[in-house]
A = this chain, B = another copy of it.
């Protein structure tokens, strides 16, 4: 039986938000198995790519029976959709954090970028596997569209909070600002997956520095000139 992803709470397989009180033991165990399968698959895709990884390789690495796989995922490609959902949860967690803990958006963004890069940043081959599936498979692409839209929605809400606090520019819509951030993030993964010589971990902070300067409230809007500006 293929289980509906809609019925399964996404929180259940997120590292970030276990929410143990809200689901029963059976659901929790299912979520753990699903999570184990996804992470085992990511490790294998990172080593040898999606094409050269079989379902049996994945179930063996996850230490579950081969038939079990299809209770969770109709195909290998569907693992990538689950991974996309897992990444979206991180964006939603960043939004919740910004809202509740009142952390500056610049800092939220920096943490988020490191957090969503952790898994894709393992090997260029993993990102290439993650990218090829939606580019070549219509069903995967349809799910990816849904995930990307959910990610942009959370990012747009983050931008709205930033605008309300005077941290993010008000002259553009949160939706557009969110799209620019997502676009840069995806582009960063793509470039690195094609050219691994483009080192990625040290690059992330520089990129956030540039993208944040693009979306923040400008100095002219934000602060009255309290001291003479210094010319370079």
Contacts and interface: CB of A to CB of B under 8 A. Distances in A.
A135 B134 contact: no
Contact of A206 (B176, B190, B191, B223): B176
A160 interface: no
Interface residues of A, number: 57
Interface string A221-232: 111110011111
B145 A195 contact: yes
A148 B184 contact: no
A195 to B, nearest CB: 5
A154 B5 CA distance: 46
A183 to B, nearest CB: 4
Contact of A170 (B134, B188, B206, B232): B232
A44 interface: no
Interface string A136-152: 10000100110011000
B179 A191 contact: yes
A218 B219 contact: yes
A17 interface: no
Interface string A146-184: 001100000000000000001001101000110110111
A210 interface: yes
Contact of A194 (B148, B207, B231): B148
A188 B187 contact: yes
A212 to B, nearest CB: 8
A79 to B, nearest CB: 18
Interface of A: 128, 131-132, 134-136, 141, 144-145, 148-149, 166, 169-170, 172, 176-177, 179-180, 182-188, 190-191, 193-195, 197-198, 203, 206-207, 209-215, 217-225, 228-232
3 A-B pairs with the lowest CB-CB distances in the bound complex, closest first: A187-B187, A214-B214, A225-B225
18 contacts: A131-B190, A132-B132, A135-B135, A135-B194, A141-B194, A145-B197, A148-B191, A170-B232, A176-B210, A179-B191, A179-B198, A180-B211, A183-B187, A213-B213, A213-B215, A221-B231, A221-B232, A222-B229
